[in-house]
Every structure is written in structure tokens, then in C-alpha cells.
């Protein structure tokens, strides 16, 4: 490999022993001290691992991501980028010479591709695509890259003198016409482009009124696999993405490879180039409850082989083992996520990394070396080398912070719901927990619903525990990690079985004797906010609630949020099924049964669950004289991202619960 370039001493980081510190409780301000460690990327020769580190800057009130790398032996750690703008998604060239990344640095509008030559020098901008770069992959010979770029705005093509100086009307003609973060959707689409490294020339490969995704090179570098929704008269009305193959030559016509009526995703070529593995989703109408199955299909087409189809658990991030005999993937299973392999011939599944932990990402090279990001409820994810079945830490980004913090105890709890089914949950106990005392209990509800509370460090749960609360996180029916039937149990029946499971969990913890039934709180974000509304309209036992990015009058969400496909395929159009829409809107229509003081929160620009859903419930409780508060974060989408707003949200949660539950104030 090329010799490591000489770098300023400030960029060379030595791993030193940590000084002994007296642990303290976590505070909202610690969000500025935590560093998020991005996915590790192993160099082709296996000697270096690139990753990203994201920090929150309190002075600039923004987040910044930089690229770092560490040696395989963990001895040398090097910071590679330090510009005021973020750099992300680092990937090595096949010859180890370049490290590519995407950044909007130096006015690279939309995020562009940059190359850092490891023999020395500054990073060089490789692309200047008007639609920016959202994803990319190196060709096997390293001479080209395939990138994903959005069609440019036609107005941007005009000379400055001809451009409109003020805002323009937004004109839409699509069935699905809005998406959180993107806003209103026009006909500009995302397509594949080919970029030549030597000349920096970029040429568009795919076209049409479709979005293309997940491009991957064939081992011989002549073809590309990708996914796209191209079937039917209007792809927006379908939940049916397929795998396509196209020659890596401008003007080539894509060939459809899969015919499943639902979504197919994440294609990857086998080492011999004869097969493609991918993820086959559930039936299209289960868009909110989809669960992937590993699939393999011949590059020539034909019926796919479903690998380990009986697994009935969430699978993602599929790749091939270097020998082509097995698939690697992330396996989500009941409050954890593991790295696993499935033999293609037999479907036999082996967990390479298991236990009460979450593996968030992994990477490997042809020689069999593997790196992965993993964490536990007690420690945030870092990058590790996997040697056999042994994990060896490669990064120590948050070691000093965790040495200074008290960490709560997170335990698995199980209980039976009304239907006799076992429900899994996490129970977080404050540092220094004393079973002879009683504690206020917070029921905190995850969103999705297709998601799960799991064994990975969560600053929010730790904050509540640090302020004297027990925290219960229930994986109610509708959650992932328990199989397809568990997910789809709530199909067209929202706010029923989930609430039963949530309340069964509260009853179970109360039966243990150390939770105070007179000091119960509840809250969540997104579907967690929606379930908060359902629950406080069902029972008056909670003394305080925080409902973030939620809704209750579901009919009013039709046409105002981004879930039009789900609504029409799960509930039916409101004019066809008004009684069902009224049924799932019961928190609004039964608002007069709510006595719980409730704080409603949301982002001003949220198109996922629009702020109107919180405004309606706030107005209802205000009209009824129930203590309530509405907090709107200006300029924010569904996920609150501005660091000062994230800190504000934590503080408001704690203040609201302290006010109504009598717990200590931070």
C-alpha cells in the first residue's frame, strides 16, 4: 500500500490511559460531549479502517461530521478532514490509493464527491453535478464510480439574469406529492451517473420518471445492479421496487430481474458474478410492517431462491461472504441486532456476534477481515475488529466521557398481554437503584411502529434515569424483532393491541413493588406520540404525558402527510371507510375523557406527522381545561436536528415530568 502521508502532529491521535474520575449523572448538555461514530470501512488491504465522527457544536448550533481512520492494530488514529462543512460516507478505492467521501465543503452544492489521495495532498473535488451526490460505489478496477444524483432544477440552468429573483409557485401533479425533509415533490428524479476518475467526466446512465437506488457494480465492472419502482402506470401508486441490471454504457437499457409484487432492495453481486443477493420485502399492502427475507436470483433471471425464509426475523445489510457460499447480514431479534451468516445451499443461520447488544453496521474485505460498529445499553457504538468470534475495539471515541458518567442499569423484562402472548421490554433503573424504595415510572414508547427498543445506549433513557425515574420501553405488537405476525397484528386496528401491551407492561412493573402507581408518566415521538394520545384517551392513570410529533384526528392526516399509499391500502379512502377512520381517531373524538396533563411538541416543517396533529390535540385539551402546552420547533422536520432544540426538548421533558410527578428537577 502507499506510504501513509505525513500529517500535522495535531491530527495524529495516541490512545492513552484514561484518568480516574468520579462518575456523575448524565445531563442534557452531554449531547455536546457525545460523539457519534459512523460505519467503519475496511481498506482493501485490510490495514486501515475509515469511519466518521459527528459532533454537536454549541456555538454554531449545528452538527459537523469528519472522516477519520485507524490502523487495523489500533495503534494509529488519524483525522483526515477538518473543514467547517461535514464529510461523510467514506469509501476506499480498490487499489487503496484514494479515500472518497461526500461533502458540501467549499460551496459544493448538494454534496459532491471528493477524493483524498493517500500519498499526500488536499482532497480534490471529483464531481460538479447540479443535483448533488447521495450515494456512490467504486468500479472494481478503480477507474470509475457510479453515483446517484437528482435531476437538476430547470431554473438553475438559466443564466443569472433570467432567473426568478423571488419565490416561485410550487406546482405538483404526483400522487405522492410530499416527503419529510424534501418538502413538496416535483418530477425531478434520482438516477445513476458514471464518473471517470482520470477526466472527472460525468455521464448520465439511467433516465425516466422513476427514482433509482442502491447501484452496485458486477465483479467484472461491465454491469450495474440497482433498484427502481418502474412498474405500473404510476409507480407512486405501487409499493413495488425491483432489481434491475444495466450495462455500464451510456444508452444501455435496464433489464428487470425480479418480479415480486412487493419491494425488493439492496442488490449485491456474488463474487463470481453469476448471482445477485437482495432483500425481498413483505406483501405491498404491509408497507408499514414490512419484513425482509434474504433472496438470491441468477443474473440471467428466473425464480429467486429465498434463503433462510423460516427465520421470521428482520434482516438487513446483506453482503456475500468472500467464498460465495454464504450471505452475511444484520439480524434484528427481540431487543438486539446481531451479525449473522446464512448458508445459501442449506439456509442454516450462524450468529457471528450475538448477545444483548446491537450491531449497527459492518464491512469486510476479500481476505476475510471484518469490522463492525456495535454498542450496548451501557456504551454507545464504536468500531471493532472481529477476529473469529472475538471483538477487539479499534476506536475509543467516547471512552473518556463514559468514564466520567454514571450509567443506568438496563434489564430485559417479559410479561403476558391480555391475549396470553409474551411481550418483551426494557426496564431502565437509576444508578444506585434500591429495590426497597419506590420510584416514579415513565412509559416511553418507540416510534415506527416498525422498530424496536433495544440494547443500545440511549441518551434520552439515561437522562430520565439520572433524574430518578424508572423507564419502561415496551416492544408492543406492531414492533419489529418478533416476526411478521407480531408486526402486522395491528393492521387497520391502531391504538388497540398496542395499548393493551403497553398497559400490561406498566402493570407488570408495578407488581414488582418498586414503582409508584401514583407517579406514572408516559410519552413518545412519532408513532410513540400517537400511542401516547391513544393511551391517555383510554386510561386516566398517568399523571403526565409528552406527545411528540403525534396525531389523533387521523382523517386530517390524509393528504397532509406522506403516507397516502399506506392509508389507501390499509384503511381505504376516508369516503369509502368513514367508520374505520373514526375508530382510529378515537383520541380526538374522546378528548373529553383525557385528564392527563400533556405537553405536545413537533417540528414546524414536519411532513411525516405534520404539526397540525399536535395543534389539534393541544387545542382540544386547552378547550377542555386540561393542563397542556404546545412546543413548536421552527424550521425543523420530523426528526429534530438543531442541537439547541434537541437539548431544549430534553429539558422540557424533564421539566414537565418534574412539575406533574414531583420528581427532582435537573
628: which strand partners? 598
Residue pLDDT, tens place only, 479-522: 999 999 999 999 999 999 999 999 999 999 999 999 999 999 99
User: In 3D, which of 647, 652, 651 has the Cα closest to residue 30?
Assistant: 647
Q: What are phi and psi of 497, to 5 degrees?
A: -65, -35
What per-residue confidence (pLDDT) applies to 173? 93
**Number of domains within the chain:** 1
Domain contains 528: yes
Distance of CA 426 to the CA centre of its chain: 20
What per-residue confidence (pLDDT) applies to 165? 72
Which of 106-120, 301-315, 340-354, 534-548 has the least mean pLDDT? 106-120
What per-residue confidence (pLDDT) applies to 666? 35
Q: Which of 94-98, 103-107, 117-121 has the highest mean pLDDT?
A: 94-98
Angle at which helix 459-466 crosses helix 643-661, to 10 degrees, equals 40
In contact, 299 and 274? CB cutoff 8 Å: yes
What per-residue confidence (pLDDT) applies to 153? 84
pLDDT exceeds cutoff 70 at 228: yes
Average pLDDT of 127-153? 96
Give the residue ranges of DSSP H helices in 276-422: 399-404
Query: Buried (b) or exposed (e) across 504-531, using 16+ Cβ within 10 A?
Result: bbbebbbeeebbbeebbbbbbbbbbbbb
What per-residue confidence (pLDDT) applies to 201? 97
In contact, 39 and 373? CB cutoff 8 Å: yes
13: which strand partners? 77
Cβ atoms within 10 Å of 467's Cβ, excluding its own: 21
pLDDT exceeds cutoff 70 at 641: yes
Give the residue ranges of DSSP H helices in 537-606: 564-566, 578-583, 586-589
Domain contains 542: yes
Distance of CA 352 to the CA centre of its chain: 23
Distance of CA 395 to the CA centre of its chain: 22
Residue pLDDT, tens place only, 267-277: 999 999 999 99
pLDDT exceeds cutoff 50 at 662: yes
pLDDT exceeds cutoff 90 at 141: yes
User: In 3D, which of 338, 341, 337 has the Cα closest to residue 321?
Assistant: 341
Rg (CA), the chain: 25
What per-residue confidence (pLDDT) applies to 321? 98
Domain contains 264: no
Supply the range of the domain harboring residue 451.
408-552+593-661
Cα dist. 253→207, 244, 247, 321, 564 in Å? 10, 10, 8, 30, 31
What per-residue confidence (pLDDT) applies to 155? 75
Band of residue 16 on the pLDDT scale cut at 50, 70, 90:
very low
Q: Greater confidence, 231 or 244?
A: 244
Domain contains 4: no
358: which strand partners? 337, 375
Average pLDDT of 81-108? 92
Average pLDDT of 612-626? 98
> Which residues 6+ apart lie within 8 Å of 341 measured at CB?
321, 326, 327, 328, 329, 349, 350, 352
User: In 3D, which of 656, 600, 597 has the Cα closest to residue 626?
Assistant: 597
CA dihedral 221, 222, 227, 228 (to 10 degrees): 140
pLDDT exceeds cutoff 80 at 80: yes
Domain contains 314: no
For the chain, the first-to-last Cα distance in angstroms comes to 53
User: In the predicted model, what is the mean pLDDT of the chain?
Assistant: 94
Band of residue 233 on the pLDDT scale cut at 50, 70, 90:
confident
In contact, 351 and 339? CB cutoff 8 Å: yes
Average pLDDT of 467-489? 98
Give me the sheet containing 202-204, strands edge to edge: 135-138, 144-150, 190-196, 202-204
Domain contains 625: yes
Query: How long, in residues, is the chain?
Result: 666
What is the DSSP secondary structure assignment for residue 17, as one 8-state letter? P
For residue 489, the domain's CATH number is 3.40.50.1820
The percentage of residues in the chain with a pLDDT greater than 90, rounded to a whole number, is 91
Angle at 616 between CA 615 and CA 622, to 5 degrees: 85
Domain contains 315: no
What per-residue confidence (pLDDT) applies to 379? 97
User: In 3D, which of 250, 287, 249, 248 has the Cα closest to residue 265?
Assistant: 287
pTM of the predicted structure, to 2 decimals: 0.94
Domain contains 635: yes
pLDDT exceeds cutoff 80 at 36: yes
User: In 3D, which of 280, 246, 285, 243 has the Cα closest to residue 263?
Assistant: 280
Q: Greater confidence, 166 or 424?
A: 424
What per-residue confidence (pLDDT) applies to 159? 64
In contact, 313 and 282? CB cutoff 8 Å: no
What per-residue confidence (pLDDT) applies to 12? 38
What per-residue confidence (pLDDT) applies to 664? 56
Peptide bond into 547 cis (omega under 30): no
What per-residue confidence (pLDDT) applies to 6? 29
User: In 3D, which of 496, 553, 488, 548 has the Cα closest to residue 524?
Assistant: 548
Amino acid at each position: 500500500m502507499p506510504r501513509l502521508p505525513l500529517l500535522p502532529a495535531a491530527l495524529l491521535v495516541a490512545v492513552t490511559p484514561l484518568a480516574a474520575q468520579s462518575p456523575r449523572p448524565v445531563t442534557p448538555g452531554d449531547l455536546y460531549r457525545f460523539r457519534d461514530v459512523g460505519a467503519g470501512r475496511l481498506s482493501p488491504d485490510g490495514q486501515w479502517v475509515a469511519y466518521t465522527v459527528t459532533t454537536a457544536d454549541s456555538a454554531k448550533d449545528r452538527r459537523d461530521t469528519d472522516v477519520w481512520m485507524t490502523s487495523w492494530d489500533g495503534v494509529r488514529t488519524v483525522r483526515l478532514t477538518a473543514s467547517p462543512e461535514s464529510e461523510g460516507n467514506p469509501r476506499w478505492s480498490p487499489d487503496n490509493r484514494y479515500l472518497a467521501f461526500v461533502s458540501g465543503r467549499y460551496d459544493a452544492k448538494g454534496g459532491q464527491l471528493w477524493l483524498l489521495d493517500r500519498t499526500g495532498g488536499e482532497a480534490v473535488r471529483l464531481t460538479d453535478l447540479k443535483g448533488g451526490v447521495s450515494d456512490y460505489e467504486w468500479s472494481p478496477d478503480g477507474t470509475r464510480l457510479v453515483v446517484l444524483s437528482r435531476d437538476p432544477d430547470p431554473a438553475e440552468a438559466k443564466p443569472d439574469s433570467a432567473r426568478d429573483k423571488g419565490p416561485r409557485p410550487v406546482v405538483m401533479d404526483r400522487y405522492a406529492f410530499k416527503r419529510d425533509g424534501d418538502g413538496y415533490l416535483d418530477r425531478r428524479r434520482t438516477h445513476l451517473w458514471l464518473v471517470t476518475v482520470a477526466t472527472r467526466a460525468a455521464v448520465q446512465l439511467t433516465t425516466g420518471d422513476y427514482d433509482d437506488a442502491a447501484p452496485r457494480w458486477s465483479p467484472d465492472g461491465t454491469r450495474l445492479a440497482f433498484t427502481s419502482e418502474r412498474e405500473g402506470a404510476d409507480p407512486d401508486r405501487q409499493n413495488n421496487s425491483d432489481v434491475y441490471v444495466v450495462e455500464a454504457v451510456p444508452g444501455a437499457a435496464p433489464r428487470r430481474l425480479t418480479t415480486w409484487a412487493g419491494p425488493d432492495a439492496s442488490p449485491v453481486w456474488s463474487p463470481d458474478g453469476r448471482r445477485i443477493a437482495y432483500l425481498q420485502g413483505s406483501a405491498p399492502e404491509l408497507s408499514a410492517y414490512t419484513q425482509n427475507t434474504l433472496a438470491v436470483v441468477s443474473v440471467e433471471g428466473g425464480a429467486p431462491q429465498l434463503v433462510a425464509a423460516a427465520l421470521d426475523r428482520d434482516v438487513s445489510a446483506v453482503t456475500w461472504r468472500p467464498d460465495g457460499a454464504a450471505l452475511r447480514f444484520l439480524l434484528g431479534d427481540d431487543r438486539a441486532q446481531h451479525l449473522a451468516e446464512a448458508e445459501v445451499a442449506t439456509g442454516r443461520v450462524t450468529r457471528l456476534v450475538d448477545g444483548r447488544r446491537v450491531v449497527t453496521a459492518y464491512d469486510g474485505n476479500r481476505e476475510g477481515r471484518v469490522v463492525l460498529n456495535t454498542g450496548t445499553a451501557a456504551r454507545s457504538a464504536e468500531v471493532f475488529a472481529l477476529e473469529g468470534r472475538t471483538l477487539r475495539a479499534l476506536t475509543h471515541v467516547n471512552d473518556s466521557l463514559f468514564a466520567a458518567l454514571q450509567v443506568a442499569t438496563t434489564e430485559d423484562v417479559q410479561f403476558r398481554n391480555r391475549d396470553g402472548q409474551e411481550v418483551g421490554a426494557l426496564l431502565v433503573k437509576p444508578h444506585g437503584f434500591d429495590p426497597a424504595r419506590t420510584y416514579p415510572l415513565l412509559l416511553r414508547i418507540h416510534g415506527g411502529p416498525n422498530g424496536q427498543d433495544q440494547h443500545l445506549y440511549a441518551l434520552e433513557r439515561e437522562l430520565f434515569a439520572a433524574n430518578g425515574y424508572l423507564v419502561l420501553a415496551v416492544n408492543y405488537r406492531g414492533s419489529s424483532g418478533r416476526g411478521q405476525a407480531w408486526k402486522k397484528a395491528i393492521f387497520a386496528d391502531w391504538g388497540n393491541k398496542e395499548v393493551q401491551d403497553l398497559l400490561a407492561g406498566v402493570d407488570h412493573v408495578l407488581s414488582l413493588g418498586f414503582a409508584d402507581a401514583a407517579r406514572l408518566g408516559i410519552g413518545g415521538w412519532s408513532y410513540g406520540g400517537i400511542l401516547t394520545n391513544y393511551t391517555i384517551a383510554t386510561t386516566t392513570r398517568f399523571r403526565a404525558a409528552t406527545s411528540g410529533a403525534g396525531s389523533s384526528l387521523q382523517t386530517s392526516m390524509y393528504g397532509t402527510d406522506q403516507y397516502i399509499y399506506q392509508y389507501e391500502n390499509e384503511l381505504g379512502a376516508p369516503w369509502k371507510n368513514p367508520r374505520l377512520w373514526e375508530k382510529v381517531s378515537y383520541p380526538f373524538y374522546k378528548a373529553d375523557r383525557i385528564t392527563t396533563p400533556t405537553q405536545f411538541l413537533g417540528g414546524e416543517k414536519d411532513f411525516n406527522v405534520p404539526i397540525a396533529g399536535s395543534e389539534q390535540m393541544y387545542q382540544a385539551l386547552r378547550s377542555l381545561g386540561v393542563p397542556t402546552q404546545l412546543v413548536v420547533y421552527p424550521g425543523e422536520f420530523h426528526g429534530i436536528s438543531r442541537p439547541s432544540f434537541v437539548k431544549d426538548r430534553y429539558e422540557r421533558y424533564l421539566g414537565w415530568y418534574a412539575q406533574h410527578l414531583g420528581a427532582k428537577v435537573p
